[in-house]
Amino acid sequence: MIKNFYGDTAIMATKTETYGGIDLTVSMSPMYKASLDWLVKFKQEQEQEKHLRENSQAVKNAWEQYQVVKILAEKEK
């Protein structure tokens, strides 16, 4: 017998009584799971790039030049 049910478009949780205890089931929409997986991967890539910028002078110089060019391009809009 389901005692509690919580849900929205992303996550659903159910609590059911079983003999000798309670089962708790939590599930996530596949679309949100894929989005979270993408976000985790993106964050890891950003951290790797940051580490590279901090530890390689050539990459740091190129990054600074890119930032200047980006600001100039945004001002032209």
Angstrom CA distances, 39 to 27, 32, 43, 45, 62, stand at 18, 10, 6, 10, 26
Provide the domain count of the chain: 1
Domain hosting residue 28, numbered range: 2-76
CB-CB contact of 4 with 17 (8 Å): no
DSSP string over 9-36: SSEEEEEEEETTEEEEEEEE-HHHHHHH
Split at pLDDT 50, 70, 90, the class of 62 is very high
Predicted confidence (pLDDT) per residue in 13-56, tens digit = 888 888 888 888 888 888 888 999 999 999 999 999 999 999 99
